[in-house]
Every structure is written in C-alpha cells, then in structure tokens.
Structure 1
Amino acid sequence: MSALLGLVLLTAPFVTLPSPAFPADPTLAALGSDPAQLRLFCYSTRCGDEEWRRMRSPTESPIVPDSGARRGPALPRSTPWIGLHVSARSRESTASYSNDWRIGTRYRVEAVRNGPTRVGVQLGAGYRLAPLSDDGIHMPGPVMRGVVEIGHRITPRAEWNQRIQFETGQGTTFVKQSVGLDVSLWPAWTLESDFTIRHDEYGRSGSESAESSLQLRRRF
C-alpha cells in the first residue's frame, strides 16, 4: 500500500488534467486562456511588479522592452484635444506712428509671401509737419502715402527686389523707385546693389533725380 501511495505522489506533478470547458462566449474564453488580462492596471509612476523591465547591473547589456508588451488604457486627459503648433503670422497689420516730420497711420498686407516671390502693399494717411526731412512732398499738410514691395529669390544666394514709394498731397506728388540685387558671398557678407529714381511733380512740371550704389555689407 505504501509503495502504491509513493508511486502516486511521484507521478502526480506530470499528470495533466483536462481544463474545464468554457461557455461559447469568446470574451470569457479569451479571459480564461490568458488570466493576466484580469490583472488591474497600475496607475502609479512605478509599477510594483514591472514584469518586462527589471533593474540591471552595470555589466549587463541594456534590456529592450518587448514591442508586444501590453499597455494599460490612457489616463484621463493624457491625450491632448488640440495638437500644439506654431501660430501662423498674419498677412495683415496696422500701425500708428509719429515723428518730428510726420504723423499718421498705415495698413499693410502681404499679398504673396510663399515660394520664391513675395509682394507687399502698404497704404496710409497722415499729416506732414516738416518738409525735406525724408522722402516725400516739399510742403506741410495732409498726405496720402503708399508702398509696393516686390521680391524674388533667383537662386539660394541671389535675390532681386523692387520698392515703389509714393506720397501725394497739396497738389504735389512724389515717387521713389528702387531696384536692387543682393548676392550672398559668405554667411555674414552680402554684396548689395541699388538703383534709385526720385520724381517730384509740381502741377504740370516736375523734376527727376537718380542715384546708384554698390556696397559690401557684413552682418554681425
């Protein structure tokens, strides 16, 4: 009898008993086949079991977490409602200004600013206090001013630009047109060329002047 009992005790760990039958529900069957799914998720900053991550000694190679490791559900508010992004700069702007020779306000819009070509338009109204202090008409009084700026990048190192500025008031009109080509020679050195024409109109008569410049500029 004792020999038979000893044989039973020795063979018991190697005997596989049939598993109980599960209902036809696939959810219950999945839970029964993988009891680990019944474990509650850990919401602390450091889980107590850490099944797939363990402390290692300095002599061990780094442990790469298993890509198939289960992750708990996302915490409330862990997913942002709106992704962070850099706000786009507005194409339109308005400003008021005052100096020793003119006060006024201006409105600017960047009609084209994407790609190699850019076009900007600026319009404004003001009052000229002192003549011959900057580009404009030669007498004080209410004035209308405007600027059209056009630029085009020909190559990564060369850019062509044109600027047309006008001011009118008191029966007088002033127009200034500048055309230039900027070439980048080194990261901080630029060769700038400029050709300017000024036109002053007094009623049916007027005068014109022109000047040009070529300069090498270093930016600090």
Structure 2
Amino acid sequence: MSVVLGMALAVIPFTTLPAASAVPGDPMLVQLGSDPAQLRQFCYSTRCGDEEWRRGSALAPSLSFQGKRKGRPTLPGSQRWISLWAPARPRDHTASYSNNWRVGTRYHVDALRDGPTRLGLQLGAGYRLAPLNDDGIDHRGAVLRGAVDFGHRINDRANWSQRIQFEAGQDGSTFVKQSFGLDVSLWPEWTLESDFQIRHRETGQSGSESAESTLKLRRRF
C-alpha cells in the first residue's frame, strides 16, 4: 500500500492539463488555460504587499488616519457651565501678632483702595509687655489699639500719605501718633522722601508732646 501511495505522489506533480486539441474552444484561450504559469506577471517592485493600507500611500488615496487619539467622551453633567476667575483679594482680614513688647490681635479693612485715594481702618486689642517710646503707652497692661491710614496719589511722581495711630490703656493712659509724608520721584532711581511726626502721650493729669521731621534722598540700585 505504501509503495502505491509513494508512486502516486511522485507522478501527480508532473501531470499536466489535457492538450489544446482535446479541449473545445478558442485555441489561444485553451493554450493559456492549459498552462497557468503563463498567466503570472513578473513584479520588479520593492513595495510591500500591504502598501495599500499605509497612510499616505498612492495606492489608497481615500484612506485617512488621525494622528491623535480621540479623547474620552464627556458624560452628561460633567461639563463646566461657568468658568470664572476672581483675582481680587478680600478687603478685610484679621491677624494675631506677638513681639518683645506687645501681644494681641487686630482687624483691618480697606475702605478705599482701587483709585488714587486709599483709606484703611484698623482696630485691635492686646496686652503690653514693655513700654516703647515710639509705640504706645509707657506702662504694662491691657490696651486698645487702632489706626487710620490715608494716602493719595497726586500725580505720576508725587504721593501723599498720612497715618494716625492711637493706643489706650488703664488709668486713662493714651498715646496718639500722627505721621505725614510726601514722596516725590525726581528721577527713575532717585526719590525725595519727607516725613513729619507728632506724638502725644497722656498719663493721668499729665501729658507730653514731641515732634520730629526728616528729609531723605533715596537712590534705588
């Protein structure tokens, strides 16, 4: 049996189709059909067989591919309906402080700040640990403090500022300090600064006043 199968496999590859005279029809078509090897075309191209599936190929100009992957679809209700950005800072703030001569807290509000004129109000309470000649009453104890800051831009080169600061303690002790200042820009790097201060201190039935002024020419490096 194995000998017959081996002879069959050896003979089949060499068998050919019937001759052209044995098949009816046009002799030229019959000759081409009888020898399939003549239907093969020689190919001298070095392009790959899947060239028509590549992007930008001349074989498939209708194909288009997107370079970026599409994002995930947004679900209903996940869109932002309003997008706002508010760079403005609040007009008021509170702060606690402590140093070598006083501890306390204060509240500050900017009444005017967006125009050429500015006005700030400050009020707070604390405890004085040690007296300071230029800042408050001259003995220890609980104090009530406040300040009024005023400023005005006269023009592009001149600014006026004024500050009134007060502190009140026990036994009717009070301290008031007023500061006036005028800054004038002479050149881009040079500024003329003037300052005038008046201090009033009152303790019981006695009181004292002092004043001083300064004039400085400052250069920025």
Q: TM-score, normalised by structure 1?
A: 0.62
Shift in Å, 1:133: 5.8
For residues 132-171 of structure 1, the aligned pairs below 5 Å read 132=132, 134-170=134-170, 171=172
2:106 alignment partner AA:
R
User: C-alpha distance in 1, partners of 2:213/2:102?
Assistant: 27
Q: Which residue of 1 aligns with 2:108?
A: 108
Q: Which residue of 2 aligns with 1:201?
A: 202
Shift in Å, 1:189: 2.4
For residues 26-37 of structure 1, the aligned pairs below 5 Å read none
Q: Which residue of 2 aligns with 1:180?
A: 181
Summarize deviations over 1:112-142 as a string: whole Å, max 9, x none: 1121100000111000001126411000000
The unaligned stretches of length 5 or more in structure 1 are: 1-41, 48-74
The unaligned stretches of length 5 or more in structure 2 are: 1-63
User: C-alpha distance in 1, partners of 2:95/2:167?
Assistant: 18
Q: Which residue of 2 aligns with 1:129?
A: 129
Aligned pairs, number:
152
Cα 1:169–1:156 shift into 2, 3 Å = same
Question: Secondary structure of the equivalent of 1:94?
Answer: strand
Question: Secondary structure of the equivalent of 1:156?
Answer: coil
Cα 1:132–1:80 shift into 2, 3 Å = same
Question: Secondary structure of the equivalent of 2:100?
Answer: coil
1:81 alignment partner AA:
W
Summarize deviations over 1:185-212 as a string: whole Å, max 9, x none: 2233221101100000112321100000
2:220 alignment partner AA:
R
Q: Which residue of 2 aligns with 1:93?
A: 93
Is the Cα–Cα contact under 8 Å of residues 147 and 165 in structure 1 kept in the other structure?
yes
Structure 1 or 2: larger helix share?
A: 2
For residues 11-90 of structure 1, the aligned pairs below 5 Å read 44=66, 81-90=81-90
User: C-alpha distance in 1, partners of 2:132/2:154?
Assistant: 36
Question: Secondary structure of the equivalent of 1:87?
Answer: coil
Cα 1:189–1:43 shift into 2, 3 Å = farther
User: C-alpha distance in 2, partners of 1:134/1:195?
Assistant: 14
Summarize deviations over 1:59-107 as a string: whole Å, max 9, x none: xxxxxxxxxxxxxxxx859x85333534211100100000111000000
Please give the root-mean-square deviation of Cα atoms over the aligned residues, in Å. Answer: 2.6
Q: TM-score, normalised by structure 2?
A: 0.62
Cα 1:46–1:106 shift into 2, 3 Å = same
User: C-alpha distance in 1, partners of 2:66/2:178?
Assistant: 68
Shift in Å, 1:45: 5.7
1:85 alignment partner AA:
W
- Higher radius of gyration, 1 or 2: 2
Q: Which residue of 2 aligns with 1:117?
A: 117
User: C-alpha distance in 1, partners of 2:188/2:100?
Assistant: 37
2:196 alignment partner AA:
F
User: C-alpha distance in 2, partners of 1:184/1:177?
Assistant: 23
User: C-alpha distance in 1, partners of 2:161/2:134?
Assistant: 21
- After superposing the two structures, state which structure 1 stretch, 81-90 or 153-162, moved more: 81-90
User: C-alpha distance in 1, partners of 2:86/2:65?
Assistant: 32
User: C-alpha distance in 1, partners of 2:80/2:220?
Assistant: 42
Cα 1:76–1:119 shift into 2, 3 Å = same
1:135 alignment partner AA:
D
Cα 1:201–1:133 shift into 2, 3 Å = closer
